[in-house]
A and B are shown apart, each in its own frame.
Chain A
Amino acid sequence: MVFVIRRIIQSLVVVLVMSLVVFVGVHVVGDPVHILISDDMTQEEIDRFIQRLGLDRPVHEQYFHFLANAVRGDLGNSFVHGEPALKLILHRMPATLELAFAAFLLAIVFGIPLGMYAGLKPESPASRAIMAGSILGFSLPTFWVGLMLIMVFAVMLGWLPSTGRGDFLTWEGLRHLALPAFNLALFKMALVTRLARAGTREAALQDYVKFARAKGLSPSRVVLVHVLKNILVPVVTVLGLELGGLIAFSVVTETVFAWPGMGKLLIDSIQRLDRPVVVAYLVITVLMFIVINLIVDIVYSMLDPRVRLKEARA
């Protein structure tokens, strides 16, 4: 319990630091006037805007102003849509999360078994094929794979739709989800496979595996309980951090498949210079990251009992 509280406090510190970084990035490094003000405002409107936002005040005052607003959920209004930027982002968040989680599940469900198999029989042809596939998986640029998937499955074969999103958890929804989720998952799947393989190879050589066999345990139990639990720890840690990466990288997949998520909104906003939305996206994403890191830490401590006790003693 103490462990959890400590982690939460640490996370809050990071949130604060990140808010500082975002603030510095937007207000100090970039020209804040330039960034937050729409290009087609008259000079009078600009002056009023500056005053309202307090951009003529000293920097530290601006920072507190920014924090106060941010905590209240006010991150400015979108130039393009005219609505509060935060609301826009949150509206699109579920779509992105659906995509990211689907990709996450795919990566685990395929990556871990494939990696474990390759680790247990490293010399077999199947295992070599798996490793070759994994190199392909993380060398292929995601957007290009997406295009090829559309090409093959939507245009040539006509099995799956190429764009858009169906309703959550319906058959139509899953059909629309299939290609983008697979596309997003591919890179991570390759990583997970390689991780699982390395972990399994190392675990298989350990004495406790030999001892388990000496006890007369069936091979499936040895693998599924003894080996798996040991590799889960490093794999889960990496995966958890990669979940954040998936959410960020969905930007690409959403663009290719016209998936209506946050990422697509971000790209559109960058291109249309709709800066408040960009800022809102960054704030939300960074927050998500920190929360995910926190959860991963907690799960990690649950899986590996040695961590819990070490922390308690520290």
Chain B
Amino acid sequence: MSAAAQTLPLAKAETPFRRLAREFFSNGVATAAFAVLLTIIFLALFAPLLAPQNPYDLAKVTVLDARLAPGAHGSAGFVMWLGADGAGRDMWSAMLYGLRISLGVGVASGAIALAIGTAIGLAAAYRGGWFDALIMRLVDLQLSFPAILVALILVAILGRGADKVMIALILVQWAYYARTVRGSALVERRKEYIEAAHCLALPAPRIVFRHLLPNVVAPMIVVGTLQTAHAISLEATLSFLGVGLPLTEPSLGLLIANGFEYMLSGKYWISFYPGLALLATIMSINLVGDRLRDILNPRLER
């Protein structure tokens, strides 16, 4: 009986994740973008180890190096491949640290906004009624104004400071997540498996988190990537304008702003290289998000 009970091996089922990965990487551009993104994340995470100099340690930086052209030798002995800025900081090091901050703030604000927006969106979809209507009015009202305006209003009201900027970024983004999640959740809510869960008298939070949420994840991923890119761009813009992160947390936007005055005298590298880093970050995130959207959007099934 024991040998006969041996079951035939099943073909290895492809999990949704594997299929997603396979479809994603079948596109060359998206793969390249993903690779670039990974590189950027790596650079940002390990900035202190990779940078030849900590640009914010005043002891290491000397104004003798100020405005050196790319490729010149600095006083500390290493080659400044990307030149030096107005205070003598090595651009490559400054860029790495700036990348760290820009990416960090963008991702952190995005993650928190995602959490808040998702929670509210799910709650609105699930509760329905006046609660849903109120939330949606609020969301619509906020989304009818451009993000930069909302951000400026918040900064004007809240004042300066890194924490205030984070709050502003989060407040700008939550509405978009809330609306997307609510839309998806409403569609899912009508489906039968939710009714079934209802019939089993499962408590509401459990239905929402363990049944509704996993099916809403796909559009969230798409919106998440695109919004993060947008958040990074917005923070850089605010910092550039001088109303974003303070000097103690110099993001790429601030670096670019610092280089502004040197543009007209031809010392382009002070703004150019941080700009490239910013561009590479935003674009790779956008490309990855674009590809994800093409895969996860069922309507484009042609």
Contact = CB atoms under 8 A, between A and B. Distances in A.
14 contacts: A29-B157, A135-B283, A139-B229, A139-B233, A140-B282, A141-B240, A141-B253, A141-B279, A143-B256, A144-B275, A249-B146, A270-B243, A285-B149, A286-B145
Interface in A246-265: 248-249, 251-252, 255-256
Given A147-B256, A147-B271, A271-B243, A241 B153 contact: no
Interface in B133-162: 141, 144-146, 148-149, 152-153, 155-158
Contact of B146 (A17, A150, A248, A270): A248
Given A255-B241, A282-B153, 11 more contacts: A135-B283, A135-B287, A136-B283, A141-B253, A141-B275, A141-B279, A147-B260, A155-B263, A251-B148, A267-B242, A270-B243
Contacts of B144: 241, 289, 293
Contacts, number: 105
A238 to B, nearest CB: 12
Interface residues of A, number: 43
B249 to A, nearest CB: 17
A275 B141 contact: no
Contacts of B145: 244, 248, 286, 289
B286 interface: yes
A54 interface: no
A266 B266 contact: no
Range of interface residues on B (Cβ < 8 Å): 35 or more
B278 interface: yes
Given A147-B256, A267-B243, A141 B283 contact: no
A287 to B, nearest CB: 12
B227 to A, nearest CB: 13
B175 to A, nearest CB: 14
A245 interface: yes
A278 interface: yes
B180 interface: no
A139 B149 contact: no
B91 interface: no
Contacts of B264: 150, 154-155, 162
Nearest to A278: B156
Nearest to B257: A143
A141 B276 CA distance: 10
B225 to A, nearest CB: 12
Contact of A135 (B237, B242, B278, B290): B290
B236 interface: yes
B268 interface: yes
A248 B149 contact: yes
Contacts of B290: 135
A30 interface: yes
A36 B249 CA distance: 29
A17 B145 CA distance: 14
- Of the listed residues B156, B242, B264, B279, the one surrounded by the most CB atoms of chain A closer than 10 A to its CB is B156
Interface of B: 141, 144-146, 148-149, 152-153, 155-158, 229, 233, 236-237, 240-243, 253, 256, 259-260, 263-264, 266, 268, 271-272, 275, 278-279, 282-283, 286-287, 290
Given A144-B275, A147-B256, A251 B152 contact: yes
A17 to B, nearest CB: 7
Interface in A143-184: 143-144, 147-148, 150-151, 154-155, 162
Contact of B236 (A141, A162, A255): A141
A73 interface: no
Contacts of A245: 146, 148
Interface in A298-314: none
Nearest to B243: A270
A289 B240 CA distance: 25
B157 A244 contact: no
A29 B153 CA distance: 12
A25 B168 CA distance: 13
Contacts of A289: 144-145
B291 to A, nearest CB: 11
B157 A25 contact: yes
A151 B279 contact: no
Contacts of B282: 139-141
Contacts of B256: 143-144, 147
B242 A252 contact: no
Given A150-B263, A270-B156, A139 B283 contact: yes
A211 interface: no
Given A155-B263, A251-B148, A141 B233 contact: yes
3 tightest CB-CB pairs across the interface, nearest first?
A245-B146, A139-B283, A248-B149
Contacts of A139: 229, 233, 279, 282-283, 286
A270 B240 contact: no
Contacts of B155: 270
Contacts of A249: 146, 148
A267 B152 CA distance: 9
- Of the listed residues A35, A144, A155, A245, the one surrounded by the most CB atoms of chain B closer than 10 A to its CB is A144
